[in-house]
Amino acid sequence: MTRNIDVTPQGLHVPSSLTGAIDVLFDGQRVWSFSVAHDGRPGGRGQTVSWPKILRRHLDGTADVELRDHATREVVHSQTVRFSESSGRVTVVDSDGNPLAVDKSGRLQRDFTHTDSSVRVEIMDALERVLHDLTEECGLDAFLTYGCLLGAVRNGRMIGHDSDADLGFLSKYTHPFDVIRETAAAVRTMRSLGWKTVRMSGANFKVWVPLPDGRRCGIDVFGCFYIGDDFYFTASLGGRLDRSALLPVSTVTLEGRQIAAPARHEEVLEFAYGSGWRVPDPAFHYDLDPATVKRMEAWFRSARRRLRFWQDFYKGPDSDRVPTEPSLFARWVQQRMVDQGIGPADVLDVGAGTGRDSIYFAAQGHQVTALDFVPAGFRKTRALRVKQGVKVVRRPLNLEDLRSVLVTGARLAHQPGTRQVYARGLLDTLGPTDRDNLWRFASMVQRRGGETYLEFRTPTSRHERKFFGPHARTFVHRETGRDLAPLGEENPHICRLVLRWTP
């Protein structure tokens, strides 16, 4: 232990005087970078920095931990740490043994440090093709931006701790709706050219490029635009930047190639990263203006506060423990519908998760629509749906986003007939606004009739041990009983509600 630094299985204890970006290496492999200013919390005589949640699952065994100043490469601390009783070494690798590191978004990725030169060539080839198609086929004023531009201007190479590529375009329009239309048209064109694209918001999208080493590289395309004198860049950046700093495009050298870049790229980098942009900082975090974030969320994207949690859950080992058989509540609802002579019915499974209850309802002869804002869960039961020979329609629905609620609700409400709304384990995961949106959605789609079936945990279960561990819940105070939704050793206190909406 040196310089009043100690590394423990829970985190790092460091002095408040430790400045700059600090790389954390396990047995010589960089796995994460942090800064005390952003990641530290007061603790004892200094600061405490917790391990990233996504890294904790790998902390099994022993590792020689080294803390290194990212800018100077000075080793500020080294220590052998035993994280668990396991006799092995800590490994942070993917299923093929490739080294991983926590990226700027808090995900474990294979960064460019561990990318062969041949793969870099493939990435650059794809980057040039995407840039060509954005410019020539989509008619956009496109250029390098963010991390790619930063690496090009600093030293002409991709940033080692980065894991994707970044392009931007200056919109021809000055109204958010027109920017959305322009972006949507570009996505359609790129797809027609054979690119696999994913809309990330109304004003930016990702192009996925398969690589010869088995992974895929994302090329993010960010829209930027002006409203009056105010400049906005997707990723919630806003402020003042003269248009002449962007166009006409210039060029910079990246990995030995001349690539289109903003006219005065240094001004653009200062706008994006501040005056210290020349100093490499893998622990960099934006200090975003809350008003700008809120404004751009309203224009281009919904709030998705729980998206990361559920994506990581369904990609992690815990998702394999989700039962595939229908829940007791699904069986209870089915029996209630039978007793009331309801069926076959249109069933909307809201917050469907893996869709295991959706499959059950479909097997009973109902027409089922599974609604959720995370597609990863529904993919887990693809084989089960095929095996049982049932059809379940999946639609995206984000209850945090009023636009999503109104659009999806209106489409379903205009379809003939009545429909039943089913939501198990959903209500207690929602905040007040999201819950209001659930009520709004259910009342919209059931104007012609139908019932809303709800099952959720009550406050009695607040401090009890959870099968999947704790996560954010907003408990509804209505108690009914136990033995309604047991799972493993967990037997939570559950409430069931059946609601009808007046026409």
CB 199 within 8 A of CB 177: no
Is the whole-model pTM more than 0.85? Answer: no
For residue 400, CA distances in Å to 155, 372, 374, 470 come to: 42, 11, 13, 21
Q: State the Cα–Cα distance between residues 327 and 498, nearest whole angstrom.
A: 17
pLDDT at 81: 94
Spell out the SS3 assignment of 440-468: HHHHHHCCCCCCEEEEEECHHHCCCCCCC
Alpha helices in 93-204 (DSSP H): 117-132, 146-155, 176-192
The pLDDT of residue 453 is 92
pLDDT along the chain (503 residues), means of 10: 80 91 94 91 86 90 94 92 93 87 83 78 93 97 94 90 89 95 96 93 91 83 95 92 96 95 96 90 84 86 69 76 88 92 92 92 96 87 89 91 89 93 90 89 91 80 55 46 75 80 66
- Structural domains of the chain in order of their starting residue, each with its CATH number: 6-109 (no CATH), 112-300 (3.30.460.10), 307-499 (3.40.50.150)
Q: Using alpha carbons, select from 21, 15, 68 the residue that is nearest to residue 44.
A: 15
Q: Which residues contact 353 (CB under 8 A, 6 or more apart)?
A: 322, 372, 377, 378, 425
pLDDT the model gives residue 305: 66
Asked whether the beta carbons of 111 and 161 are under 8 A apart, the reply is yes
Per-residue pLDDT at 379:
86
Nearest to 476 by CA among 492, 494, 452, 498: 494
48 and 41 in contact (C-beta within 8 Å)?
yes
DSSP H or E run through 359: helix 356-363
Q: Which residues contact 291 (CB under 8 A, 6 or more apart)?
A: none
Please report the pLDDT score of residue 473 as a whole number.
43
- Is 494 within 8 Å of 485 (Cβ atoms)? yes
Say how far residue 232 (Cα) sits from the centre of its chain: 22
What angle (nearest 5°) sits at the alpha carbon of residue 315, between those of residues 352 and 463?
70
